[in-house]
Amino acid sequence: MNKMNTRIKPHVSLSALHRSNGVTLLDVLLAMVIFVIGMLALAHLQGNLTRSSTDANSRTVAASIAEETIEGMRAFEQISSAVGKVAYNDIAGKTFEVNRGGVIYDVVVEVREFFFQPDGQTPSTTPPTGVTKSDFKYVELVVDWTGSEFQVGDGVTTSDRLGSGSFKAASIIPAIPALNNAKVAADDDGALGAPPVIYSPGFRPDVIALLIDEDGDTKKFKESTSPLPDVFRDNTETWFDVVTYNQVNGGDAVFLRREEFVAVSCECTLQTSGSGGLRPTLWNGFDYTQGEFVDKVYGVVQSKNAKQSNYCDVCCRDHHDGGSTSSENVYNPLAAGGTNDHSHYGKDNQGKINVAAAGDGEDYVEACRLIRKDGFLRVTHDANQQGFFGFPEGYLEFPDGAMEYSTYLLSAVTDYYENDLSSLPQPNPPDPSSSYDIPAGESSTATDLPTVTLAETQQLRSRGVYTDYLTAEAELNIYNCFDGDGDRTQCQSPAATTPLELYPFHELQLTWLARWNATPSTGTVDVTNDPIATNNTHKRGNAFLDGSVPGQSIVEITSNKGNLGLTATGPIDDTYDSHSSTYQLYVDALDSSTPVSPVGYVVSGAMTSAVAKVEEADLMLETNEFARCGQTDTKYSCQVVAAGATLTVSNYSRKGNNTDPLWICSTVLTFLGDTHENTGGENSTTFKFPGGVTTNADIWITENESDCR
């Protein structure tokens, strides 16, 4: 039997074949559905990611806005409000909008002011008695945003927003402008590795750079900005900075250290019992150290004269000695060695300093010098002027004169601290062998009017050098740094390269604060002597020809050695005259060196004010053609050359809305008119001179007409 190869085919029904084709199509449809769902999920995820990214971006922008706002507040230039300047007093709550990339950010700023209480440590939103300026402000800031709209197309938008949110920030802003560091840089301060801060040095002759050290191409300088008074009718604030910087090869000046000072004049009321005040903030050879709070006599701002400098609260409170056995914790360096409080004095009804010191609850006048310490202005040693100089225009404008002045001054300062001299010698001449002596300090080196360019006016200038008392701690630190053995391990300021960097001294432009007077003569030379005005807009020390008689005149410059020399205000005790400096400059008028012979007679007297908010130093004196006058902050002197001479006194009324009458009085000068009364605005009172030499023709300002008799 034959075998056959037989393949048996499977049996497939028609219905099964149809089912196989249907599964394939369905799979495709299902896959499409799944794909669409996935894409929708992905789109949703992408939307969430977009929203998250937008939210993160918005939060970053909000943080940037908050930072910009706070830093803008920190960058204030002064305390008091002023047109065109950012001021601490202007920092206040506000609401505003910022549009960044189509997103609107709503910014809400809340500000709370804090005041340190009498212990100097505890902050509170309630100011102590008499305090008007806060010590710091606490800023809370909220930035809200509601996002930008979806763009659907053809300019149509939805109401949906790309996210919304809120960002909060807070910061403390002390009453201190930026760029503050009164500490001497140390190697481990981080100062050497920190980004350099470029400093713009001042210009001669207003600012003189004192070359305190030189090492190859690297030079280190110390200079002071021109004192700038802010004058309110009832007080004066005078600001200046002392800056140390270096330059390499004449390149950019790099800031090393800044000391910020302000001098203020105040009217206070004495308190013999209570919480007390701070000891003085003193230089320790490396930094200013704040004194602790002690139980001692203190003062508060006069309630009847509360509109004073914002710094009169700490001036009145702290400027008192005592509360400790330490003889170094005194404000007046001339009183070092004692522990009792120095006396404070008020004024009588003619504006003269009282003979007896003020007692509990009695008013007195005060002046303080303050230094910025850790963001706050604290009362430090009184200004202690140890050298006072005058120059004709041009001497300090040229490098030779400026270098000679710098060399002399630094030598004198070094001698002062190393030898404990009582005063610095006058620099005329600084070196007898010098071929470039300071001119006009002697009759043989007089300056000329007219000048070599035939100008009939010449700006004369004045400067002073101030030294602080060296405490035992300061002496020790300076010794540890420069004892000559090369071991500086005990030195707190190893980056210092010269003792001059550690000596507490500064040199100041005093042209606009000192008083200038030409000696009474026939009127050949006169000199401007305007009352102090804000931003140094007044004129002082500008000598000019005022006659046709040739001869040599003397221009006399005066300056109080203490705080009053920086505020240009009246005395606070009976030492004003004995604690003042005088310097003379000689001027040859019309090409003649023969001294002018005075003619006529002299009438002189004191100027005082018994009225709060009105300073005797602000009085303006004018005469007719038969007399000539000069004045300081407290005295005047007139040369009467013919009969019919008159004296007109002005600038003594209160400013603002105060209409209470004031009187200007004299028992020697004869009043020309019907009444002494002036009630504000423009004012003047005219007197007739007596017929001969008189030295007690006093003038005073009062609120009571009966005080004129």
Q: CA distances (Å), 603 to each of 390, 598, 606, 639, in order?
A: 27, 13, 11, 7
Distance, CA of 369 to CA of 561 (rounded, Å)? 12
Q: Residue 196: pLDDT band by 50, 70, 90 thresholds?
A: low
Q: Is the pLDDT of residue 95 over 60?
A: yes
The per-residue pLDDT for range 431-490, each reduced to its tens digit, is 444 444 678 888 888 888 888 788 889 999 999 999 988 888 899 989 988 887 777 788
- pLDDT, tens digit, for every residue of 619-659? 989 898 888 888 889 999 998 988 889 999 988 876 655 56
pLDDT digits (tens, 9 = 90+) for 589-618: 887 777 777 788 999 999 999 887 788 888
> Quick one: which of 340, 322, 329 has its CA closest to 289?
329
Alpha-carbon distance 452 to 431, whole Å? 26
d(CA 181, CA 371): 11
What pLDDT is recorded for position 57? 72
pLDDT at site 676: 56
Whether pLDDT at 181 is above 70: no
Q: H or E element: which one contains 7? A: none
Position 87 scores a pLDDT of: 77
Report the pLDDT value the prediction gives residue 4, as an integer from 0 to 100: 42
Bridge-partner residues for 156, per DSSP? 153
Average pLDDT over residues 322-351: 78
Q: What is the mean pLDDT of residues 265-283?
A: 87
pLDDT digit string, tens, across residues 211-226 = 999 988 889 999 998 8
Q: Please, which pLDDT band fits residue 88 given cuts at 50, 70 and 90?
A: confident
For the chain, give the mean pLDDT.
80
Among all chains, which residue has been given the structure tokens 């937008």? Answer: 54
Give the mean model confidence (pLDDT) for residues 563-575: 90
201 half-sphere exposure, CB direction, 13 A CA radius: 22
Q: How high is the pLDDT of residue 465?
A: 93
- Backbone angles phi and psi of 88, in degrees to 5: -60, -40
CB atoms within 10 A of CB 534: 15
Confidence (pTM):
0.74
Q: What tokens appear for 693 in the block?
A: 């030499």
Phi-psi category of 259—alpha, beta or left, where left has phi over 0 and alpha has psi -120 to 50? beta
Q: Would you kindly state where each structural domain of the chain is located, as residue ranges?
A: 57-148+162-174, 187-379, 424-466+504-598, 599-709
| Pairwise pLDDT comparison (677 vs 622), residue with the higher score | 622
pLDDT tens sequence across 481-525: 888 777 778 888 888 889 999 999 999 999 999 999 987 666 688
pLDDT for the residue numbered 263? 94
Between 678 and 632, the higher pLDDT residue: 632
Residue 168 has pLDDT above 90, yes or no: no
Q: What is the mean predicted confidence (pLDDT) over 427-431?
A: 47
CA dist., res. 282 & res. 468, Å (int) = 9
* Contact (Cβ atoms closer than 8 angstroms) between residue 459 and residue 542: yes
Tell me what percent of the residues of the chain surpass a pLDDT of 70. Answer: 78
Residue 185's CB: how many other CB atoms inside 10 A? 21
pLDDT at 647: 92
* Statement: residue 73 has pLDDT above 90: no
- Measured CA to CA, the distance from residue 456 to residue 189 in angstroms comes to 54
Residue 205 has pLDDT above 80, yes or no: yes
Residue 561 near residue 256, CB atoms below 8 Å: no
pLDDT of residue 344: 92
Average pLDDT estimate for 12-41:
61
Residue 376, φ and ψ in degrees, nearest 5:
-125, 145
The DSSP letter of residue 638 is E
Residue 7: per-residue pLDDT: 39
Identify the bridge partners of residue 157 per DSSP, sorted by sequence position. 151
* Residue 389 near residue 412 (C-beta atoms within 8 A): no
* Better pLDDT: 598 or 47: 598
What is the bridge-based pairing of β-strands 282-283 and 288-289?
antiparallel
In the predicted model, is pLDDT for residue 5 greater than 60? Answer: no
Determine contact, residues 638/668, Cβ cutoff 8 Å.
no
What secondary structure does DSSP assign to 239-295, as a single string? EEEEEEEEEETT--EEEEEEEEEEEEEEEEEEESSSS-EEPPBEE-SSSEEPPPEE-
pLDDT value at position 684?
Answer: 80
Q: What is the mean pLDDT of residues 541-547?
A: 89
- Residue 703: count of CB within 10 angstroms of its CB: 15
Residue pLDDT, tens place only, 374-403: 777 899 999 999 889 999 988 888 888 888
Rg of the chain over Cα atoms, rounded to whole angstroms, equals 37
pLDDT surpasses 50 at 58: yes
pLDDT category at 17 given cuts 50, 70, 90 is very low
User: Please, which residues have CB within 8 angstroms of residue 166's CB and are 6 or more apart in sequence?
Assistant: 62, 142, 143, 144, 145
* pLDDT score of 84: 63
